Structure 1
Amino acid sequence: MNNAQPLTQIEGTIALAGAGKMGGAMLAGWLARGLDASKVVVIEPYPSGEISALVAKGARLNPEPRDIGDVATLVVALKPQMFREAGPELRPLVKPSTLVVSIMAGMTIASIAGVCGGRVVRAMPNTPASIGRGITVAVADAGVSAAQRAVADALLRAIGSVEWTGDETLLDAVTAVSGSGPAYVFLLAEELARAGVEAGLPAALAAKLARETVAGAGELLHRSELDAATLRENVSSPGGTTVAALEVLTGEGGMRSLLTRAVAAATRRSRELAK
């Protein structure tokens, strides 16, 4: 779906349940891209100053359930554990035809529908959503109409790119790769800086070099038409310093093995959260 529906064309009330880091990023993205704030209801018992400022643009914060009216779309941005407790309170907002967009890790379409009903789109974004550079993978249940899928797509594209799949079982691995993936990149920057200090660099300089190198390489990967392997090879002169380092990183017990194990562990945990 390359041509996203403009947010200005979305009809009906949108209720956002949970306005933490990811829910807040979504709200900010919606309003920045033209969604009428008066269409938005935010359900968040502990709103941050940033959320309060966004709500001040015209959204409603924590109205009485009887005052919300009909909800066309419910976006659930709660932690899975919180959803199991708060979900039944959301159910009165959801009619059989209501679109429910979940960004909760591990919670299956069946479990979401069982708690609050509706026509469910399950999605997994990641934290670069806070700067509009997230990547989200989404899957819709069979009852979601083409129009509702377009609404979900537009709401998710407000925080970055969106990929759709028809196979919900892929969402656990998606969570492990892109959902948790930013933490792996931040760890790389952290450990690269630490290794620089071990090699003799001042801590501030090592931190600056690691941060800018990871950020710059990421931007190069984003802009380049070349794949990651080719970009890596372009840095690796035969017999040079980069090859010496890569022999360590790609050797036994190195990055390939570690990332395979890490992604497998995160995938298992995502499946466990659904139980």
Structure 2
Amino acid sequence: MINTQQTPFKLAFIGAGNMAWALASGLLGKRFGGSDVLAIDPYPASLENWKEHGVRTQAEVGPELSQQRVWVLAVKPQVMQEVVTACAPYLREDTLVISVAAGIPAETIASWLSVDKPFNRVIRCMPNTPAFIGCGITGLMALPGVDEADREIARQLLKSVGEVVWVENDAAIDAVTSLSGSGPAYVFLFLEALIKGGIEQGLSPEQARQLALATLNGATQLATLSPEEPSVLRERVTSKGGTTAAALDVLNQAGFVTTVTQAMAAARQRAADMAREFS
């Protein structure tokens, strides 16, 4: 396990926005000291939190990057090639590169890192926004140049903000993006709909919000703790001819499940489009 007393390497965040800070805040003071971490971002406001926690900061990529054993690329896909190209001169043989950018294949990043041959110590991952409160889940995939020790480093880093799931390739990461990466937005939309429905039924906004939040939280916890499939749990709460059955009939007639799966397919397709657009 990585810890502050026995940190085996130094860590760089290239891009210091919200997701990078979520990852770092799960590590600082627990597994890393501030002096072990370098945060790079051209926007001074993005670096304020980092400075307050003793993290070394700079506005541009420079020679200091070569001293950081693990790089976390946390910039927007639109600027990833420019940023990776700027970082490449400071790459060492033992550097581990972890990307959290949507849509950019790991092999593409590997090709940008070296003009001679691809640098294959690259891991691509997709965390989600519940990472901000330590309740996220991250999908990861690794290129062949990543050994078991580096996989364990990545696992420990991402475990600091929630669960981790290893998948086999970039296509699977795009599927992760469509499910858990974009998934919180689907849940928030459903939450909005529940609150709106409650208000239309005569509840106050405060009552509707409290009931909706507790219902989603409780149902999710029940599904997590139960050994049974969600379909079984759904059937148990659905009495024939009852109120829940009436509600589910409306959702089924509207093609609720089909709509959700089509939405996920659209998210995955957009990830594939981004790979072509930015690669």
Q: TM-score, normalised by structure 1?
A: 0.90
Aligned-residue offset at 1:10: 4.0
Q: Distance in 2 between matches of 1:245 and 1:198?
A: 15
How big is the alpha-carbon RMSD for the aligned residues of Structure 1 and Structure 2? 2.0
Write the deviation string for residues 165-219 of structure 1: whole angstroms up to 9, x where unpaired.
2233211111001100000000000011112222232333222222222222223
Q: 1:171-186, aligned counterparts within 5 Å?
A: 171-186=173-188
AA aligned to 2:267 is A
Partner of 1:230: 232
Q: Distance in 2 between matches of 1:71 and 1:53?
A: 20
Partner of 1:37: 34
Pair 1:55-2:51 in alignment:
yes
Greater displacement, 123-132 / 113-122: 113-122
**Contact 2:103/2:271, CA 8 A, preserved across alignment:** yes
2:78 to 78, 81, 89: 81
Q: Distance in 2 between matches of 1:54 and 1:219?
A: 34
1:103 to 100, 119, 132: 100
Q: Distance in 2 between matches of 1:68 and 1:185?
A: 38
**Contact 1:25/1:130, CA 8 A, preserved across alignment:** yes
Distance change (3 Å), C-alpha of 1:180 and 1:74:
same
Aligned-residue offset at 1:110: 1.1
Partner of 2:9: 12
Q: Distance in 2 between matches of 1:220 and 1:130?
A: 23
AA aligned to 2:49 is A
AA aligned to 1:274 is A
Q: Distance in 1 between matches of 2:44 and 2:234?
A: 43
Partner of 2:262: 261
Aligned-residue offset at 1:127: 0.7
1:138 to 112, 137, 140: 140
Q: Distance in 2 between matches of 1:162 and 1:71?
A: 23
Q: Distance in 2 between matches of 1:189 and 1:108?
A: 33
AA aligned to 1:219 is Q
Q: 1:157-172, aligned counterparts within 5 Å?
A: 157-172=159-174
Q: Which runs of 5+ in 1 are unaligned?
A: none
Q: Distance in 2 between matches of 1:47 and 1:179?
A: 27
AA aligned to 2:148 is A
Q: Distance in 2 between matches of 1:52 and 1:214?
A: 35
**Contact 2:71/2:97, CA 8 A, preserved across alignment:** yes
Count of residues paired in the alignment: 269
Aligned-residue offset at 1:82: 2.2
Aligned-residue offset at 1:47: 4.9
Q: Distance in 1 between matches of 2:51 and 2:92?
A: 25
**Contact 1:7/1:155, CA 8 A, preserved across alignment:** no
1:150 to 149, 152, 157: 152
**Contact 1:71/1:93, CA 8 A, preserved across alignment:** no
Partner of 1:23: 20
Write the deviation string for residues 214-262 of structure 1: whole angstroms up to 9, x where unpaired.
22222333333333222222322222111111111122x3211111110
SS of aligned partner of 2:12: strand
**Contact 1:122/1:138, CA 8 A, preserved across alignment:** yes
Q: TM-score, normalised by structure 2?
A: 0.89
SS of aligned partner of 1:30: coil
Q: Which runs of 5+ in 2 are unaligned?
A: none
SS of aligned partner of 1:100: strand
SS of aligned partner of 1:85: helix
Write the deviation string for residues 36-78 of structure 1: whole angstroms up to 9, x where unpaired.
22111001222547x5234333220117613444221100111
